Structure 1
Amino acid sequence: MWGSLVVCDRQQGTRLAELLRVHLNEMPREFELDDEGTLVVHTGELQTADGRNIDYYGAPVIAPHGEYYGRVWYFRDITEQRRIEALRRTEALQRQTILDNIPDAAWFKDLDSRYLAVNRAYATALGFAPEQMVGKTDADLFPADIAERYRAGDLAVIRGVAPGRVEEFIMPFCDGVKHPVEIFRAPVHDDRGAVIGVVGVARDLADRRRAEEQLRLSAKAFENIGDGVVVMAEDRTTISVNTAFCKMTGYAPEEVHGEAAPIFDESRHDQGFAAELWNEVHRAGEWSGEVWNRRKNGEVYPQYLRLNVVKSEAGVPTHFVGICTDITSLKRYEQQLHHQAHHDALTGLPNRISFQKRTAEAIMRAARSGARLAVMLLDVDRFKSINDSLGHAAGDEVLRAVAERLRASLREVDAVARFGGDEFGILLDSIDDNHGAARVAQKLLDELGKPLHIQGQELYITASIGISCYPEDGTDPEVLFMNSDAAMYRAKEEGRNAFRFYSREMNARATQYLYIANGLRQALERDELCLYYQPRWSLADGSIAGVEALVRWRHPQRGLIPPNEFIPVAEEAGLMGRLTEWVLHEACRQRRVWQDAGVDVGRVAVNLPASEFRDPLLAQKLYAVLMETRVSARWLEIEVTESMLMENPERTASILSQIKSLGVEIAVDDFGTGYSSLNYLKRFPLDYLKIAQSFVRGLPDDPAAGAIRPGFIAWAKGPDLRLVG
């Protein structure tokens, strides 16, 4: 030995010393002093050749007189201690690994509720690293009230009061939000069964609560949704239905549970429909469309069905969801809209669109079979006077009565429609010849000629009918309608209350009408109209008492066209308003030119058509023309006809009074051609009567007129009314 002592504890014996001799040469031989002059004590750990762990301690030995004597070495075999420590480290690593793989917050605590280990989920939720929480208690991490509740829960588990305890707590997370958590605690035992700590797992309930709320809302929506909902298993049997489905079908939930879902009635569909539907559901994952279904009471109803597949996370179909909508009301509404679109609201008859379609279908059948057809256009004569005199309500009653009589007078194979206003269309299907159509037309006129009782009054009406026949008068509906219209106007021209068949000559007249109407529109724009002035002479002194404005059309190709050719067309084409306005303005303009030139022509007379007296603003329009042309109202005279006065006496009298208040004078043209009495004329603010030639012709030689002449002349000499011959 080199002066050092080797001391082994008694338990390890001499063998240890022998094993360690080989290492003694490696030990420090001389004394060492630290910075403060004190001899250094050597400690350390070494490993023997056979792998054992030895802990050593070397201290200097000082003789009594202070001389350094040597060192004493203490060696201890700690192999087993190191094995136990390694085992504990492995267990701790395994424990931490287990904790970190738990998705919920998890921890181990000792009996003092001090954290021995926590997983990353728990530490992250609280904003720490796991090692930062080890060794701390809940009092170090949470507010006092929460820490006390956590400690009370730990003690209950430790004391065995609530082993395996599950509780709900509020845990403040690092995001500043207090999360509801469910905490499970269980005691940890040693090998002898003694409780040495607590293991805990906390599950954040926020997502679950949201999911539960979503499920609650979904369930509420499922029950309260207006559409019927049925959930089916993979074999299409019913799992659940909502209240709306039960109300819709009449089935209770228990009646359909486990049964084939009653989402449509296969018997109401074509064979193979169900198979095609479900094939499409499996292929596309959905299907939607209209189906027929049957309620529990047997009632069949239309339904809109939407089917969807519910798949698992693996993409395997697990359920089907059907949404059923009762569309009975919708279908009824669609039928109403279709009826309204194809029928007249007033009479319930088909309208022009429906009649045209019916006529086209009849023509197609007739073309195949060689049958003949007749299309009639019927117009109620002087219907406007009914509206004006009795009111529109009475006019509507007349139209309904006409529709009913026409419907009752025709066969089931025939058709009748209202085109609008007082115009009706009639289709005679499969007639033998024109005589058959004539017989029907006369029958209709006879039926319409019977008295009507409208608003307590007995009323008689007539009608005019135009007839065109397939195939000679046309092979498509529009041509037949047009030709019937031409024939109907011929019936009106020839006295009304009659029927006429279409002829080619009528087509020429219709073409001429279109030519005149279109040309007249252009004439108004191109200034092709002009006025001629017919003087009125005073018999007393032979001077000009006034002039009458007569409109003419200077046609670029035909030359001067008289008014009897274009005035009727203007009335029918709705151009009279523009034409009258032009005549009034031009007549007043010319009167101003004469006045400025010092030429005295007296009053300018302008004839107003009946259509103008339907305008309540006529007087205002006359005033505007006078102001614009700077002509005094006393130089303008308005002429009206006797029949116009009688058309709507009250309205006409009111408008004439307004015109009279402007200072304009009013004359009745062609008096004696109507049926008014002289006493009746006193109701109107008239200035002149222009006697018709037919009224005075032959008057001196007619004995029957002898009694009329003196009275008429005496009346004409009155101060309020003057005569013009």
Structure 2
Amino acid sequence: MNNQKLNSDLAHHIFNSLTDMVFIIQKEDNGDYRYLFINEAAYSLPGVEKGITGKLLSEVLSYKVYKVIKEKYDEAVKGGAPLHYKFTFPDSKNIKTIHEIQYETVISPFFKDGFCTHIITIVKNSNLNQKEGKLKRSTNHFEHIINNTADAIYTFDRYENYTSINPAFEKLFGWKKEEILNNNFISIILDKDKSELKNFIMESIKKGHVLPSHEAQRITKKGNVIDVLASYSPLFDEKGNWDGGVAIYKDITDKKKLFNELKVSEERYRLITEHTSDLIKIINPQGTVLYSSPSHFDVLGIKPDETLNKPIFIGMHHDSMETFKFSIEKINSTRKPTSIRFQRITQKGEFIWLHTIGSPILNNEGNKVDKILFVARNITERKKYEEQLQHYALVDHLTGQPNRRYFFSRLLEEMEKAKFFHSTLAVMILDIDRFKHINDSMGHDIGDQLLKEFSERVKDCLHEHDIFARIGGDEFAILLPDVKDNQAIVNVANRIIYSLQDKWVIDEHQFNTTSSIGISFYSPYEMNYKTLIKQADKALYQAKEDGRNCFKVYTNTEF
């Protein structure tokens, strides 16, 4: 069989193996176009039927369709370059529904001596979600397709000798074309597979059967064993007799390795999740539980299946819900892990403390959170111990109010929340007017008692979620989070000023003293906590300058 015939048969085989629809069109002298070749995939296109090869487009298509297609062909010929366009057809398999299939078309004209002689049209079904990369299309010659595909392709004759290989074959197996074509003893088949190749694969091809993709192993020039997807198809001579075949190999060695590693990893993960005492949960970005580990029954008394497809917040203490929701939003927005402490009720009705780390599981593109993994541990006993320590470390022993350390810790936390949710918070710095005079003239015991009663009066003027702390001497600070209206802060300041107008009666002493207050608001969000406190201090200083017993709000202008 001569090379021209072999190339022709190989071209037909390649085109018929493609999932894209291929039309080879001949341009007639009268301006019409004639079908010369149509591959098997093209017969799925509505209106394309067997037996139209050799006919003119005007003989086959309706006038309306013919007019549109001819205009596109003429445009491609006139432009002298490939033309891309899209069109839709009703889905003939779903005639009961209004459903259309969109097709992408590439029209490539071929010229000889300045005149267009043929056109290759490749039509792709845009609605198909292909999982594997397709062969790189070419419109100038089928050899371009073979030589540029990532898959290894070789042909062999009826004597099982190599007749051609493509560059991908050389790259995958390491054999050069001149080496393998001139040495019939070179084999890429493992010894253990040679019997199968001869007795099954070759016998099937000789009978004209196509062997679809199947997993196999082959050996390279360096002796490395690789995993491939192998497919074989027969080639025939001009009389229809079997005359050789074509083999296509897709290298799946890395995929196979990753698959095996994933399988081992999943088995390890399963063993860990089924035997760990930690609570493991996987949720979607909205907070719906997709998986709960068996340890939920041991720790919480709740069957894991009872938590599935339900919000993760079910059973949480109401004080923990907002923090947990904020953490989920933070993971979704930053795509970074975060640590959370929260309370959760058990089947016995007891609340326990849990510490969990939430880690994002990103989508394939790595630009969006697909799922969130939480690994939680019961820290109830540790929490009780920590709370005892924190009480001593974060509380002012004289007044019983939070101290400076606790205040600034909460301030940083609330500033972060305000920045994330674009809300506002306010800070008040206040002190006792003429406290040094009272302390020096009446004694430190009276001064200490005044600090206690002062803090009680101020505390009574605040809301439950406001943070009131003694930050040093007679200086106090108030943190007012989630401010909806600045006037509400002014009202709080007025209540404090008013509550301090009554006389103080401590032991045998009766006297009057008041407070001066400076107020600052957290906006814009670029400022740090030191700037926020400094602004409130400046406002407090101005209140002192204005005669004490009043409050001032910091503004950007000089006082």
Q: Name the TM tier (shorter chain).
A: 0.3 to 0.5
Question: Relative contact order: is structure 1 or structure 2 higher (C-alpha 8 Å, sep ≥ 6)?
Answer: 2
Pick the structure with greater CA Rg: 1
Scaled by the length of structure 2, what TM-score is found? Answer: 0.40
